[in-house]
Amino acid sequence: MDIVIYHNAECGTSRNVLELLRHVGVEPHVVEYLKTPPSRTLVAQLVARMGIGVRDVLREKGTPYGELGLDDLSLSDEALLDAIEAHPILMNRPIVVSPAGVKLCRPSETVLDLLPAEGLQPFTKEDGEVVIDSDGRRVR
């Protein structure tokens, strides 16, 4: 299965998604988007494929969101894409691209929506939360 994850190793959710992908036997293409930011065109395409708005992919915590006035609801998608292009940290993560679709995987177990449900093995996140139980069923 060919999967891409837009990843930030400093983010626990992103680390959990990457580990969960590997746990189910998928070695994704890892794009460390702070080192290799996607183009604004690609960000717009990802947002469109997710069926959400550009504003829905913005991250506030630990970013210049407030300083840039991005809480102004009158800002256009183009202005928001400009901000993401200038400050890639504004793009929330992890975004996972798979043959089954594209998702902003928050919470981390959302990635399971993009994977086959058969043959899942128990999985616990780094904080101790069980995601897949001992019977191979999603807990949430």
Q: Share the mean pLDDT of the chain.
A: 94
- State the pLDDT at residue 21: 94
**pLDDT above 90: residue 108:** yes
Q: How confident is the model at residue 94 (pLDDT cuts 50, 70, 90)?
A: very high
- State the pLDDT at residue 118: 79
Query: Residue 85: helix, strand or coil by DSSP?
Result: helix
The 8-class DSSP code of residue 1 comes to: -
Displacement of CA 97 from its chain's centroid (Å)? 9
More confident residue, 116 or 26: 26
- Return d(Cα 54, Cα 83) in angstroms, integer: 11
Angle (nearest 5°) at CA 132 between 34 and 49: 45
For the question of residue 105 being annotated catalytic, the response is no
Task: Please give the order of strands across the beta sheet that includes 95-98.
Answer: 29-32, 4-7, 95-98, 101-104
**pLDDT above 90: residue 117:** no
- State the pLDDT at residue 45: 97
Evaluate whether 134 touches 44 at the Cβ level (below 8 Å).
no
Residue type, 126: E
Burial of 128 (0-12, 13-18, 19+ CB in 10 A): exposed
The pLDDT tens digits for 50-72 are 999 999 999 999 999 999 999 99
Evaluate whether 96 touches 113 at the Cβ level (below 8 Å).
no
**Joined tokens for residue 44:** 């717009």
- State the pLDDT at residue 121: 87
Q: How confident is the model at residue 6 (pLDDT cuts 50, 70, 90)?
A: very high
**Joined tokens for residue 118:** 């058969």
Catalytic hit among 3, 11, 54, 105: 11
- What does pTM read for this prediction? 0.91
Residue 102 belongs to what H/E stretch? strand 101-104
